[in-house]
Amino acid sequence: MRTDSLAAVDVHVHIEADGHGHYSLDDELIAASARYFRADHDRTPTLEQIAGLYRSLNMAAVVFTVDAGTATGHRPLSSEEIAEQAAAHGDVLIPFGSVDPLRADAVEHARRLVTEHGVRGFKFHPSLQGFSPSDSRMYPLWAEIESLQVPALFHTGQTGIGAGLPGGRGIKLRLSDPMLLDDVAADFPSLTVILAHPSVPWADSAISMATHKSNVYIDLSGWSPKYFPPSLVRAANSYLQDKVLFGTDYPLLTPERWLRDFETLDLKPGVRPKILKDNAVRLLGLDKD
């Protein structure tokens, strides 16, 4: 991928539809998240549509689905298909895979996705997938991803999925407390852990982890920058300027809106290019392609 001419790299973009009429979540959960984010645009664009959008914006995007088949009973989208389609748009798309940690073949699946399908990392959503990252039963999976030398991106903080529904549709927010990943980052020091979102209501925990552990990063997706906790803005503007990454959570937040609100933050001029592109290029090794 040629990164020198790119304006930005969005590290957090969801594939919600496969082009065959199947979606990553059931109708109730998709509608709940759209209401939560007040998304008045297409909630389920296909991979090809996403590639077209990011190409028009002169940006690259990390794309993925979330395999939560065991926890939700809903058939997931295929990470293999996403990787294959993304390869046809290699100028703008970077595929991450997703495996269901509750399945017995999770380790093998992760290995195949990297070695046979070329995914560049993995996305997990502990609350939606119904697991605790610090559970020792997950450790063989983290060890495998560490050995594959690709990053693992974890949803942290509250979620729009299930928001406003009775019991949140049974989705437990505590599973996405970033401190559950502190054990993982400590026990697998060569595993790059990306804490997705500002981690509200645990933003200070995420900041502390990224400060303490060289292998922990924060992506800024899922929230408009104008709502970022002040402590996160201060950290991103100073001692964490090399550890934070631009992300939108598209199609829930559009890159146009995120970037417009990002411009309102009081940041040092040299910090903006690091957040928007340079940190992701270095972390994902895009300059080595």
pLDDT digits (tens, 9 = 90+) for 156-165: 999 999 999 9
At 153, which helix (H) or strand (E)?
Answer: strand 152-155
Residue 35 has pLDDT above 80, yes or no: yes
pTM metric for this prediction: 0.96
Q: 3-state DSSP call for residue 147?
A: helix
Q: What is the pLDDT of residue 14?
A: 97
Domain 8-288: state its class: alpha beta
% of the chain exceeding 90 in pLDDT:
90
Check: CB of residue 145 under 8 Å from CB of residue 181: no
Q: What is the pLDDT of residue 38?
A: 80
pLDDT digits (tens, 9 = 90+) for 200-231: 999 999 999 999 999 999 999 999 999 999 99
Check: CB of residue 230 under 8 Å from CB of residue 187: no
Average pLDDT of the chain, as a whole number: 96
Shortest CA distance to 58 belongs to which of 106, 129, 109, 5? 5
Beta bridge partners of 124: 154
pLDDT digits (tens, 9 = 90+) for 36-54: 888 776 778 999 999 999 9
Q: What is the pLDDT of residue 42?
A: 73
pLDDT digits (tens, 9 = 90+) for 57-78: 999 999 999 999 999 999 999 9
CB contact burial 41-74 (16+ within 10 A = b; e otherwise): eebbbbbeebbebbeebebbbbbbbbbbeebbee
Q: How far is CA 158 from the centre of its chain?
A: 14
Q: What is the pLDDT of residue 20?
A: 81
Q: pLDDT grade, residue 256 (50/70/90)? A: very high
Q: pLDDT grade, residue 254 (50/70/90)? A: very high
